[in-house]
Amino acid sequence: MTEKSYDVLVIGLGGVGSAACRSLAAAGHRVLGVERFGRVHDLGASHGESRGVWQAYFMGPGYVPFLRRAYALWSDLEEESGEHLFHRTGGLCLGPSDGELVPAARASAEQTGLTHEVLSADEVHARYPQFTPDSDDVAVFDPDSGFVQPEQTVRVQLELAEKHGATLHFHERVLSVTEDARGAVVRTDRDTYHVGHVVVGAGCWAPELLPESVLPVQVLRKVMLWFEPEGTADDFLPGRFPYWIWEGDGMIGYGHPGANGLHGGVKAGVHSGGTPTDPDLVDRYVEQREVAEIQDFLRTRIPRLGAGRYRRSAVCLYDNTPDQAFVIGPTSEHGRIVAAAGTSGHAFKFLPAIGEAVGQLVTDGRASQDLSLFDPRRFRDAQAAPAAG
Ligand SMILES: Cc1cc2nc3c(=O)[nH]c(=O)nc-3n(C[C@H](O)[C@H](O)[C@H](O)COP(=O)(O)OP(=O)(O)OC[C@H]3O[C@@H](n4cnc5c(N)ncnc54)[C@H](O)[C@@H]3O)c2cc1C
């Protein structure tokens, strides 16, 4: 048994866990973070050089207040770390006006008074000649959109957590979590810890530690690809090329400007779909047909990228809940075990706000932001509700 005592143990030091550790340590808790792999790794969901950030959100207006808070906290994170994290490139959400994405992005912007523009296909092409939308497509332009870099963000959050006194253990795997009225007990492959609270930020592996009624997650294998554009490559750098997400041909594609200059190429991927997988057995080999799928999507929409040379790829994981909303909140009878998981492939932009909310839940038992969208009881309650008759 360990000699040192901690108030809070955070399981997983990826995007969510590193944000939680920083907030909890900054609030004065004695924090232990436990990660089964190394510091900033590429086996979970927080790697691949860029993550899109925006407020005119295609998931709907309910997310916007939490996003506003995240925006304020990204600035705090930059100030505290002294590093430039959030690259504002502007963002385009494209697709049919009666589709899934554009109406939700419009509603988010209009109902919450965000600065935005609605652009026709011709207006998009005039502003960004790299894009050739179909005449049926419309776009919502969010000037405050952009990207952050996941590896840098996780590193910075971990460094700040340590600066505030957190202890971080790598290559230590949590095997089980239990609670009683006095606290929680965490058993790992190295030790047993008795703590006041536990935060489960274990990403795609969180279902091993939490009941399915709280976290009914499907883990999906996702592919990120990088292409070398045809012609003047500078046209695909931040400043000239926005973050984009596009609904069309029954799928949702997305892409980011060259995040590290153009050395590694310009990123694109498919947000919709994905192959169900076990996170420990996921196939990390990317097949030619997966490259061809996104090239076909790009060919008519961003032709210079669609015809560009394929450079490289990486496999990443989504942990999708049935409604694709996150699971954030206490999950156990005495409230000692707090979940921050089920992030469904879209939580990176929220990370500082998730960290803050988790910190408040542990400290005060409640969060200043409305977390009802992410209530861990919602799936269990839905199952328990009598069928409409
Ligand atoms: C291809 C792709 C594109 C994306 N694009 C965007 C985007 O544009 N914008 C956006 O906002 N979001 C995006 N996301 C989503 C975002 O990246 C994730 O929601 C976020 O990174 C999830 O962080 P996490 O901490 O839950 O998971 P992870 O970063 O995977 O962290 C979980 C950690 O827990 C550790 N762990 C697991 N089990 C244990 C255990 N038993 N003991 C100890 N440690 C354990 C793991 O090793 C891992 O380090 C994307 C995701 C992917 C995969």
Q: Does the structure show a pLDDT above 80 at 172?
A: yes
Q: What percent of the chain has pLDDT above 70?
A: 98
- The single-letter code of the amino acid at 299 is R
- Residue of the nearest CA to atom 16 in ligand 1? 348
User: Which of these three, 278, 299, 319, is where a domain ends?
Assistant: 319
Residues 370 and 245 reside in one and the same domain: no
Count Cα neighbours of 199 within 13 Å in the Cβ-side half-sphere: 39
Q: Which atom of ligand 1 is nearest to the CA of 34?
A: 43
Give 331 Cα–ligand 1 centroid separation in angstroms.
Answer: 20
- Banded model confidence at residue 179, pLDDT cuts 50, 70, 90: very high
Tell me what pLDDT residue 381 has. Answer: 82
Q: What is the C-alpha to C-alpha distance for residues 258 and 271, in angstroms, rounded to an integer? A: 18
Residues 373 and 250 reside in one and the same domain: no
Residues 257 and 312 reside in one and the same domain: yes
Q: Which of 346, 351, 374 to mutate to test the pocket of ligand 1 (most atoms within 8 A of CB)?
A: 346
Give 97 Cα–ligand 1 centroid separation in angstroms.
Answer: 31
- Banded model confidence at residue 389, pLDDT cuts 50, 70, 90: very low
53 lies in some domain: no
17 lies in some domain: yes
For the ranges 195-204, 276-285, 373-382, which has the lowest average pLDDT?
A: 373-382
Give 126 Cα–ligand 1 centroid separation in angstroms.
Answer: 36
Residue 48 backbone class (left: φ over 0; alpha: ψ -120 to 50; beta: rest): left
- Banded model confidence at residue 129, pLDDT cuts 50, 70, 90: very high
Q: Does the structure show a pLDDT above 80 at 383?
A: no
Give 281 Cα–ligand 1 centroid separation in angstroms.
Answer: 16
Residues 200 and 231 reside in one and the same domain: no
Give 344 Cα–ligand 1 centroid separation in angstroms.
Answer: 9
Give 252 Cα–ligand 1 centroid separation in angstroms.
Answer: 20
SS (H, E, C) the chain: CCCCCCCEEEECCCHHHHHHHHHHHHCCCCEEEEECCCCCCCCCCCCCCCEEECCCCCCCHHHHHHHHHHHHHHHHHHHHHCCCCCEECCEEEEEECCCCHHHHHHHHHHHHCCCCEEEEHHHHHHHCCCCCCCCCEEEEEECCCEEECHHHHHHHHHHHHHHCCCEEEECCCEEEEEEECCEEEEEECCCEEEECEEEECCHHHHHHCCCCCCCCCEEEEEEEEEEECCCCHHHHCCCCCCEEEEEECCEEEEEECCEEEECCCEEEEECCCCEECCCCCCCCCCCHHHHHHHHHHHHHHCHHHHCCEEEEEEEEEEEECCCCCCEEEECCCCCCEEEEECCCCCCHHHHHHHHHHHHHHHHHCCCCCCCHHHCCCHHHHHHHCCCCC
Tell me what pLDDT residue 261 has. Answer: 73
- Mean residue pLDDT of the chain comes to 96
Tell me what pLDDT residue 387 has. Answer: 56
CA dist 201 to 45, 300, 324, 338, Å? 12, 39, 17, 9
Is residue 130 within 8 Å of residue 19, measured between CB atoms?
A: no
State mean pLDDT over 119-138. 98
Q: Which of 23, 34, 36 to mutate to test the pocket of ligand 1 (most atoms within 8 A of CB)?
A: 36
User: Which of these three, 298, 319, 340, is where a domain ends?
Assistant: 319
Nearest CA-CA partner of 124 in 111, 143, 110, 137: 137
60 lies in some domain: no
| Domain that residue 300 falls in | 88-145+218-319
Q: What percent of the chain has pLDDT above 90?
A: 93
- The single-letter code of the amino acid at 146 is G
81 lies in some domain: no
- The single-letter code of the amino acid at 23 is S
Q: Which atom of ligand 1 is nearest to the CA of 17?
A: 25
108 lies in some domain: yes
Q: Which of 35, 198, 267 to mutate to test the pocket of ligand 1 (most atoms within 8 A of CB)?
A: 35
Residues 375 and 243 reside in one and the same domain: no
Residues 211 and 351 reside in one and the same domain: yes
Residues 311 and 351 reside in one and the same domain: no
77 lies in some domain: no
Residues 371 and 223 reside in one and the same domain: no
Q: Which atom of ligand 1 is nearest to the CA of 318?
A: 53
CATH number of the domain within which 348 lies? 3.50.50.60
Q: Does the structure show a pLDDT above 60 at 153?
A: yes
Residues 129 and 159 reside in one and the same domain: no
Give 88 Cα–ligand 1 centroid separation in angstroms.
Answer: 22
User: Which of these three, 263, 298, 319, is where a domain ends?
Assistant: 319
Residues 242 and 311 reside in one and the same domain: yes
State mean pLDDT over 196-201. 98
CATH number of the domain within which 275 lies? 3.30.9.10
Give 350 Cα–ligand 1 centroid separation in angstroms.
Answer: 12
Tell me what pLDDT residue 11 has. Answer: 98
Nearest CA-CA partner of 197 in 2, 389, 4, 5: 5
Residues 223 and 292 reside in one and the same domain: yes
Pocket of ligand 1 (CB under 6 A): 11-17, 34-37, 44-46, 48, 51-52, 173-174, 201-203, 205, 222, 224, 269, 316-318, 341, 343, 345-349
Q: What is the C-alpha to C-alpha distance for residues 389 and 352, in angstroms, rounded to an integer? A: 43
CA-CA-CA-CA dihedral for 289, 294, 296, 297, to nearest 10:
150
389 lies in some domain: no
Q: What is the CA radius of gyration of the chain?
A: 21
Residues 202 and 301 reside in one and the same domain: no
Give 303 Cα–ligand 1 centroid separation in angstroms.
Answer: 31
Domain count across the chain: 2
Q: Which atom of ligand 1 is nearest to the CA of 341?
A: 26
Is residue 133 within 8 Å of residue 139, measured between CB atoms?
A: yes
Digit-coded pLDDT (tens) for 235-290 = 999 999 999 999 999 999 999 999 877 778 999 999 999 999 999 999 999 999 99
199 lies in some domain: yes
Digit-coded pLDDT (tens) for 299-328 = 999 999 999 999 999 999 999 999 999 999
